[in-house]
Amino acid sequence: MNLRDLGKPERCVELAFRGFVLILGILLLPALAALVPFGPLLVLGAASYFAWRIRQASPQRPRRERSTSGAERTPVLRGGGRQI
């Protein structure tokens, strides 16, 4: 969120609604998980979804290029390299 977003009323309403839904979800998830028989599965699914969202929102790290320089290894034959 930028400081400029505070001047846009629709963006402020959107952020307030997202915060409200987040707090409501945090409060209702444990209560719902205790009531239904598949509660642990519900908690696991919610945790994996939130972890995925956090991972997608985080900046991507640059991938390191594989170095292809250097000699390739050759297989060593049995018997010291002599053919039998």
Q: What's the predicted TM-score (pTM) here?
A: 0.50
Amino acid at 30: P
Helix (H, G, I), strand (E, B) or coil at 79: coil
Burial class of residue 43 (count of CB atoms within 10 Å of its CB; 0-12, 13-18, 19+): middle
The domain spans of the chain are 3-57
SS3 25: helix
When pLDDT is cut at 50, 70 and 90, the band that residue 84 belongs to is low
Residue keyed to tokens 């979800």: 25
| DSSP assignment letter at 6 | G
Give the tens place of pLDDT for each residue, 12-30: 888 889 999 989 988 888 8
